[in-house]
A and B are shown apart, each in its own frame.
Chain A
């Protein structure tokens, strides 16, 4: 069931406040909103959902947009980007981050494809360019917002938002501890498939094609492309990773929610995967096309896969790195007592 307008409002105010005062202000605000609602309705609460929402809407309009309320509760200004602009700033940063990542991935992927075996120095350059782009992009955006924050009159910014503010447009509360069952199940299926293919049917990982022998006999050829070195040195480690991932996902499905420990375990598994990917990129070639039936085909496969495998690994590595950073941010930013308790946790002075 979607959260009511008060819950959504309290959540929107709370997330703009410093963590140390958040729970207390949220509890007080919830109590004040309920009092105001009852005050409007002569001490009672509206009986049906439609009139409840209409009354909540009226109460919230009197309080004003969450940015304004949060700014009033917030300690004296010590911020670079204040509550009025913070949401727009966050969205702009996020959009720019995706744009820059996509651009650098595209350019990097293309250059890696043309780089032959000498991939590792190219990767370092690639990471350097990515870091530079991010720093320049984020720096410029932050500078612009900081200037706007200091030049736009505080009241003008707040009034601009308040004029057309509609409480019914408050976003639904995103519960960071909720698991995505579909995603977890999909991952379990993918991991089981990977375990089966790599361990039981390694021949499937390769180049498959049909060719005529004589005029009418079609013959199917399969050329495995991964080297024995991969199966001897990396696959056992990947198997451990796969099994731990399966265990974690099954545990999460049974438990129904993320917790701090499961988030940390997930991050550790992500870092484990990153280390393996980096070792595979930096280590000996994973390609072995000796099983190709002709020398010409060997050359063709060699030329195709010698660049393609490292490039694919580099892209996967970059995605895994971004994913790990996201997981880390979730750990440090999420309050795992969510949703906030209805009643205040501690007495005042």
Chain B
């Protein structure tokens, strides 16, 4: 039977991607720069996952985007919309409460 751990870790990390992405988009960023920033902070996101996620968040109204053709190539820049800022606040609060609860649980078990 295959080791279930990689999948479990992937699922756990996957649940935090949205919050991590929203947290970096107070200022506008283009996709590659955002992926580099996340990686520098220890949040390696598969590029094939990140870019479609940005589009999905934009479709949900949490992000706004614009194309910029300045420089050597066109780039799409994303930033939080008003709804996105609200979602970031709500998700941030939820994360802090959840991580505190999970930390308490883990400490009791270890």
Cβ A32 vs Cβ B31 within 8 A? yes
Which residue from chain B places its CB closest to the CB of A346 in the assembled complex?
B67
15 contacts between A and B (CB under 8 A): A27-B76, A31-B73, A31-B75, A31-B76, A32-B32, A62-B47, A68-B48, A69-B48, A72-B48, A72-B49, A73-B52, A343-B74, A344-B76, A348-B58, A349-B64
Contacts of A31 in B (CB 8 A): 30-31, 73-76
Minimum Cβ distance to chain A for residue B66 (Å): 5
Cβ A343 vs Cβ B52 within 8 A? no
Which residue from chain B places its CB closest to the CB of A64 in the assembled complex?
B48
Residue-wise interface mask of A (240-275) relative to B, using a CB-CB cutoff of 8 A (1 in contact, 0 not): 000000000000000000000000000000000000
Which residue from chain B places its CB closest to the CB of A65 in the assembled complex?
B48
Cβ A348 vs Cβ B66 within 8 A? yes
Ranked nearest first, the 5 interchain pairs of A and B with the lowest CB-CB distance are A35-B32, A348-B65, A72-B52, A344-B67, A73-B52
Taken together as a complex, chains A and B put the C-alpha atoms of A36 and B30 apart, in Å, by 12
Known: A343-B74, A347-B66, A347-B67. A35 touches B31 (CB 8 A): yes
Residue-wise interface mask of A (27-49) relative to B, using a CB-CB cutoff of 8 A (1 in contact, 0 not): 11101101110010000000000
Minimum Cβ distance to chain B for residue A45 (Å): 10
Cβ A36 vs Cβ B75 within 8 A? no
Cβ A28 vs Cβ B48 within 8 A? no
CB interface residues, B 24-44, toward A, < 8 Å = 30-33, 36
Known: A32-B31, A69-B48. A349 touches B58 (CB 8 A): yes
Which residue from chain B places its CB closest to the CB of A347 in the assembled complex?
B67
B106 lies within 8 A of chain A by Cβ: no
A207 lies within 8 A of chain B by Cβ: no
Counting chain A residues whose Cβ lies within 8 A of the other chain, the interface size class is 20 to 34
Cβ B32 vs Cβ A36 within 8 A? yes
CB interface residues, B 53-110, toward A, < 8 Å = 55, 58, 64-67, 69, 73-76
Taken together as a complex, chains A and B put the C-alpha atoms of A62 and B51 apart, in Å, by 13
Contacts of B66 in A (CB 8 A): 347-349
Cβ B67 vs Cβ A348 within 8 A? yes
User: For A35, A69, A343, which residue has the most chain B Cβ atoms within 10 angstroms?
Assistant: A35
Known: A73-B55, A344-B74, A347-B66. A28 touches B47 (CB 8 A): no
A229 lies within 8 A of chain B by Cβ: no
Minimum Cβ distance to chain A for residue B46 (Å): 8
Cβ A29 vs Cβ B64 within 8 A? no
A94 lies within 8 A of chain B by Cβ: no
Contacts of B52 in A (CB 8 A): 69, 72-73
Residue-wise interface mask of A (323-349) relative to B, using a CB-CB cutoff of 8 A (1 in contact, 0 not): 000000000000000000001101111
Minimum Cβ distance to chain B for residue A219 (Å): 79
Taken together as a complex, chains A and B put the C-alpha atoms of A234 and B55 apart, in Å, by 59
